[in-house]
């Protein structure tokens, strides 16, 4: 009986060791690369200048009077451009309609109003920051057509929001 118990104990010990010997594990690394924060700066206001009754004053994004913004971030990163545009400019209680068409905005990486890639500021645009510098320059124009509005200095705000897309 002692031999049977001793044999059973030996088999049990070998079985336990064999089961433990088959357990395995592996490890992998974890890594994240933090990118440069995306920044935006307002540079120039959109200046319609003198607007006369019954005459449309149209400013293109390539005009010197266009508004402008500068973006800086990770080189070649994809970003979205989203404008919040006013429907009117105000002078006290008076309003002047302002409009933005399909080619009222533009961007480029050369910090030049000439040669911009036009886009509709009423829709979200997607583009890339400069492959070398990580910069992008955005320009905005628009139109005003006064009719019976009283003379005065009408103002409003144009906001540009931008975000990395992750691509």
Residue 6 lies in a domain: no
In degrees and rounded to multiples of 5, residue 11 shows phi and psi of -65, -45
Residue 131 lies in a domain: yes
Say yes or no to pLDDT of 16 above 70. no
Range of the domain at 130: 39-164
Q: What is the pLDDT of residues 26-39, one digit of tens each?
A: 999 999 988 889 99
pLDDT grade for 137, boundaries at 50, 70 and 90: very high
| 113 within 8 A of 61, measured Cβ to Cβ | yes
What is the C-alpha to C-alpha distance for residues 52 and 49, in angstroms, rounded to an integer?
Answer: 10
pTM of the predicted model as reported, rounded to 2 decimal places? 0.82
Q: What is the CATH classification number for the domain harbouring 129? A: 2.60.40
Question: How many separate domains does the chain show?
Answer: 1
Neighbours of 114 (CB within 10 A): 8
């Amino acid at each position: 009986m002692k031999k049977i118990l001793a044999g059973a104990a030996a088999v049990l010990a070998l079985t336990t060791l064999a089961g433990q010997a088959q357990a395995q594990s592996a490890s992998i690394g974890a890594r994240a690369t933090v990118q440069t924060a995306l920044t935006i700066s307002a540079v120039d206001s959109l200046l319609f200048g003198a607007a006369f009754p019954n005459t449309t004053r149209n400013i293109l994004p390539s005009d010197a009077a266009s508004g402008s913004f500068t973006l800086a971030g990770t080189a070649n990163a994809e970003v979205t451009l989203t404008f919040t545009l006013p429907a009117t400019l105000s002078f006290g209680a008076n309003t002047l309609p302002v409009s933005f068409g399909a080619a009222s905005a533009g961007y480029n990486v050369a910090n030049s109003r000439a040669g911009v890639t036009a886009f509709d500021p009423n829709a979200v645009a997607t583009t890339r920051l400069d492959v070398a510098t990580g910069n992008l320059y955005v320009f905005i124009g628009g139109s005003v057509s006064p009719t019976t509005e009283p003379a005065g200095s009408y103002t409003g705000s144009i906001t540009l929001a931008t975000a990395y897309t992750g691509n």
